[in-house]
Amino acid sequence: MITKRFSGRASVQQLSSWLQLPRSTFYYKPHSGQRGKKPSTHTFYNGSLVANEEVVEKIKVLISGPYNAYGYQSIHDDLRELGYLINHKKTYRLMDDYKLLLGKVIRTSGKRTWVQYRKIQATKPMEYLCLDIKYVWVHGEGRWYYLLSIMDVFSRKILHWIFQKSVRQIDVINMFRWLHAVYNLKGVIIRNDNGSQFLANQVRSFLVQLEAKQEFTHIATPEENAYIEAFHSILQRELIERFEFSSFYEAKQHIKNYMQWYNFERKHRRLGRITPQQKWKEGLSCSTDKQRDKVDVEEMSRPNDSLKNQTQNHSLATSLDIPGADTYFCLTAEPENRQVLHILNKDSVQLIGG
């Protein structure tokens, strides 16, 4: 009150000295909200600004692994070594906001089915599938991207793949939804590691609904998933180490072309110097012959129903109703010729290469 009364007669400095109060008290204006300036939304990385979300994705890569127990201080040191201009307080804040600090436990309900045999003995296509995630460095953007590949063990054919900034449980569900629509996953055994995307309750429940059998490799035992690990090693040697990708789109196009070349042109020594696609066709033809022989035996025992049996075995008209996608599919007998009559709605599925 005194400062306001004599503000026109004396300076603020004089009034403050008379009242023995700091000048900051005169200029202070109370306000609601959190004290201090707003937290930054970007971080300096090798001379340029990147969004904090990209820093969080890098932190997730650094703390990945079943035995990794890094705290925020160790992560801060690693980020500094990689070129991020960030202090330990900001590292702690980002890890706390995204639940990445020590003590955060991922819990799932229900028992996991563990791998019983390390080596898979697949006798036909679509009997055993295996999948895994690989990190791909894009030089032009200075960040990692995720590549999820799923392989048919019998033929070593890559049936589908996802390449994007992150792989969430909904992406895994949509991938299985697409595979079920094209190949039918009922009774198929699916082998994966203990990644959070595969452990998610929604993913496991969805596979149970499809009547697929999911099995998990033991912790820190990549040799139990050797087929897809071997493929990613081949991909690393033949593609990733030979090219520097200037952008995400260039990397995705290279991966798309490589997957096509791997499936249809690259001869596999373990398969007898034939391509995965040729092995796939051989397996399908053998399965068709066995099915045809079974049908012939049934026709001999029931000649009056021969036309009905033939129609059922050579033209399967199946309506598939999948939760989350108001879509119906018509599938034919051979998986290669199965056509999706109505594409999954865009709200539930992200169209990806593969």
* 210 and 344 inside one domain: yes
Neighbours of 227 (CB within 10 A): 19
pTM (predicted TM-score)? 0.60
**For residue 326, what are the contacts with CB-CB under 8 A and spacing of at least 6?**
345
Q: Is residue 38 part of a domain?
A: no
- pLDDT tens digits for the chain (354 residues)? 566 666 667 787 777 777 777 877 766 677 666 666 788 999 999 889 999 999 999 998 888 766 777 888 999 999 999 999 999 999 999 998 888 887 655 566 678 899 988 888 899 999 999 999 999 999 999 889 999 999 999 999 999 999 999 899 999 999 999 999 999 999 999 999 998 899 999 999 999 999 999 999 998 889 999 999 999 999 999 999 999 999 999 999 999 999 999 999 999 998 999 999 999 999 998 877 666 665 554 554 444 444 344 444 433 333 333 333 333 333 333 444 444 433 344 444 443 343
* 179 and 323 inside one domain: yes
Q: Is residue 1 part of a domain?
A: yes
* 24 and 128 inside one domain: no
* 237 and 90 inside one domain: no
* 74 and 136 inside one domain: no
3 state SS of 186: coil
* 341 and 252 inside one domain: yes
DSSP state of 200: -
In total, how many domains does the chain have? 3
Q: Range of 263's domain?
A: 109-275+304-354
Best CA proximity match to 111, nearest among 207, 188, 221, 201: 201
* 240 and 217 inside one domain: yes
Q: How far apart are CA 134 and CA 195, in angstroms?
A: 12
* 153 and 265 inside one domain: yes
* 171 and 246 inside one domain: yes
* 198 and 331 inside one domain: yes
* 132 and 241 inside one domain: yes
* 161 and 61 inside one domain: no
The upper half-sphere exposure of residue 307, i.e. CA atoms within 13 Å in the direction of its Cβ, equals 1
